């Protein structure tokens, strides 16, 4: 009985752990359903605004490689397609999903196409870093607690040693 109550208390305490304000919001998935970002609390997040017809589109390959290499340690890459820069993501969500899977075998979560300036998650990331994306494939790295956010410019490739080092540091850190 005592073990049961202790286990029940631990489950209840974990269930009651508040979602960090940064993640406490719903976003549209690529298949146009609503999803809470709270499901990613406790993970290290690499958030990227993507586009299918950009000179930086080959970064999908490196992003997927990061996702596969570090997902078992707690990294989640989150893709947010946007047509904001140069009209380089003109397709529908269905077309974007097909492109990601067929061209780059993307397995990380990709959300519905959005306008970044009206995306509450992106507005919070910008506020946290004082840096807005200036082009496609801008990266935000969020720690496990959802409180520390780093910004990496479009030109920083997914295999850039500075980005990889930052990811590894956050994966090794505890909340």
Q: Give pLDDT tens digits for 49-100.
A: 999 999 999 999 999 999 999 999 999 999 999 999 999 999 999 999 999 9
Q: Are 51 and 157 in contact (CB under 8 A)?
A: no
Q: Give pLDDT tens digits for 142-166.
A: 999 999 999 999 999 999 999 999 9
Give the β-pairing of 149-152 and 139-142. antiparallel
Tell me how far the alpha carbon of residue 52 is from its chain's centroid: 17
Q: CA of 165: how far to CAs of 106, 108, 114, 142, in Å? A: 23, 20, 30, 14
Is residue 54 flagged as an active site residue? yes
- Which residue out of 19, 38, 54, 100 is catalytically annotated? 54
The rounded distance, in Å, linking the Cα atoms of 138 and 119 is: 15
- Domains (range + CATH), the chain: 22-172 (3.40.30.10)
Q: Which of 35, 59, 29 is nearest to 138 (CA)?
A: 59
């Amino acid at each position: 009985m005592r073990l049961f109550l202790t286990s029940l208390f631990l489950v209840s305490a974990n269930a009651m752990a508040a979602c960090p304000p940064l993640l406490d919001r719903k976003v549209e998935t690529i298949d146009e359903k609503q999803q809470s970002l709270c499901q990613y609390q406790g993970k290290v997040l690499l958030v990227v605004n993507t586009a299918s017809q950009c000179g930086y589109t080959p970064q999908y390959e490196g992003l997927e490689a990061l996702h596969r290499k570090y997902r078992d340690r707690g990294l989640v890459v989150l893709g947010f397609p946007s047509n904001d820069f140069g009209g380089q993501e003109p397709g529908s969500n269905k077309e974007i999903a097909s492109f990601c899977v067929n061209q780059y075998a993307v397995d990380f979560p990709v959300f519905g196409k959005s306008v970044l300036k009206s995306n509450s998650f992106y507005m919070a990331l910008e506020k946290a870093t004082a840096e807005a994306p200036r082009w496609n494939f801008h990266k935000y790295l969020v720690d496990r607690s959802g409180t520390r956010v780093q910004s990496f410019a479009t030109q920083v490739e997914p295999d850039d040693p500075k980005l990889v080092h930052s990811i590894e540091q956050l994966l090794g850190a505890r909340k």
